[in-house]
Amino acid sequence: MREVIFQFIAGFLFGIIPFGLIEVIGWNIPFFREKFYGNPSEIPTLILGYHVHHSFLGLISIGLGIYSLFTKSDNQFFWIGLGIGIIIAHTVADGKLVFIEKIK
């Protein structure tokens, strides 16, 4: 049980701290702000007119963790914690819960 809690907390911190810093750096440094928050048609994560936010990586991570539960892998709770941390960091930074967004 202790290992499960450690895995989850480690994953959560590894998700929330680096991705939170990415949001802070991306918003506060002009070069990055222009590149990632500038013209919507030039966003690097634009796929067929949709902006794939990095919180979508959190969903993939949670899915990987759930899959790992069924395959008896060792790191399933790390992946789940990582996904939750990424989603929380992105939601706090953007002020809304969004995974994929249509660009107008």
pLDDT digits (tens, 9 = 90+) for 24-83: 777 777 777 676 666 655 666 677 778 788 888 999 999 999 999 899 888 889 999 999
Are the C-beta atoms of residues 63 and 69 closer than 8 Å to each other?
A: no
Q: Report the distance separating Cα 38 and Cα 45, nearest Å.
A: 13
Statement: residue 91 has pLDDT above 60: yes
- Number of domains the chain is built from: 1
Residue numbers of the domain that contains 59? 2-102
- pLDDT bin (cut points 50, 70, 90) of residue 100 is confident
Pairing of strands 50-52, 100-102: antiparallel
